[in-house]
Amino acid sequence: MLETEHVPWERRSLASVLPAVRPRKLAKVPFVELADGRLQGVVSSGSDIDRVYVSSIAAGSHGFNCSTNNNRPCGGLRGAPCKHLHALLDEAVLQYGVARVSRYLRVDVTDGAQTGADLLRRLDGHHEPTPAAVVFSRFLRHLSYLELPAADGPLPELHWFPATGAVR
């Protein structure tokens, strides 16, 4: 099984974990959290199924960042938030509601912001590089607790993970 699949990620240092992060199984924004004073999460690439981005927006300063999990800067980030940050905000609003996200980020929504795009327009931060590693490793831990309902067969990759009795 694994020995017949030679995707590049399997040869990297996180090889024992990454095979479960098969991008074709990823939602557009598979991970989002309000933590460490930031809205942050993982956004899958629209064009390259082997790539994910770690995107974040700081509470208060609204400094934003987007890079690959290997800290390569996002090409869409040219002084303004990229599409991954748009997707991150949209997903955050879905999961937490616009009131909670705006309160956390300290965005003024008294004039009636409803969507992630509304929030994005009200941000006044600039690009502020932040390391992707912490968020990405939390994402991997998060994945290890997920069921994969789309799977239609045995998943040898899951044998890499310790047994998780908590999964229903």
Q: Which residue has the tokens 């400094």?
A: 63
CB of 104 to Zn ion, least distance (A): 21
Instruction: Pick the binder of Zn ion from 82, 88, 113, 123 (CB under 5 A).
Output: 82
Which of 29, 5, 30 lies closest to 19, judged by CA? Answer: 5
Tokens of 147: 């069921």
- Beta carbon nearer to Zn ion, 31 or 53: 53
CB of 85 to Zn ion, least distance (A): 6
Which of 45, 30, 8, 10 lies closest to 136, judged by CA? Answer: 30
Is 84 near Zn ion (CB under 5 A)? yes
Q: If you ran DSSP here, which 8-state letter would residue 12 be given?
A: S
Q: Which ranges constitute the DSSP H helices of the chain? A: 83-96, 98-105, 116-122, 133-144
Q: Pattern of binders to Zn ion over 109-138, x per CB under 5 A?
A: ------------------------------
Instruction: Pick the binder of Zn ion from 18, 42, 58, 66 (CB under 5 A).
Output: 66
How far apart CA 9 and CA 18 sit, in angstroms, is 7
Instruction: Pick the binder of Zn ion from 23, 63, 73, 76 (CB under 5 A).
Output: 76
Is 62 near Zn ion (CB under 5 A)? no
- Beta carbon nearer to Zn ion, 20 or 85: 85
